[in-house]
Amino acid sequence: MSPLSNLPRQPSLFRQTDQWFHRARASLLGTIPCRKGCSRCCIGPFPITILDREEIRRGLEHLPAPQRQDIAQRAREQVAAMEVQYPRLKDSYFLDEWDDALIERLVTEFAETPCPALQSDESCGIYESRPLTCRTMGLPTEEQGLVQGACEIQTFVPARRLSSAIREQEQLLARQEAIALEQLRQQRRIEGEELLVTYGFV
Output the pLDDT for position 19: 94
- Residues with Cβ within 8 Å of 127's Cβ and at least 6 positions away in sequence, in order, are 2, 4
Q: CB burial class (10 A; 0-12, 13-18, 19+) of residue 72? A: middle
Q: CB burial class (10 A; 0-12, 13-18, 19+) of residue 99? A: exposed
Output the pLDDT for position 128: 93
Is 60 exceeded by the pLDDT of residue 120? yes
How far apart CA 173 and CA 176 sit, in angstroms, is 5
Q: What is the pLDDT of residues 78-109, one digit of tens each?
A: 999 999 999 999 999 999 999 999 999 999 99
**DSSP-derived secondary structure for 49-76:** EHHHHHHHHHHHTTS-HHHHHHHHHHHH
- Domain ranges across the chain: 12-22+38-201
Higher pLDDT, 161 or 200: 200
How far apart CA 37 and CA 196 sit, in angstroms, is 23
Output the pLDDT for position 140: 73
Torsion from C-alpha of 136, 137, 138, 142, nearest 10 degrees: 70
Q: State pTM to two decimals.
A: 0.87
Higher pLDDT, 152 or 69: 69
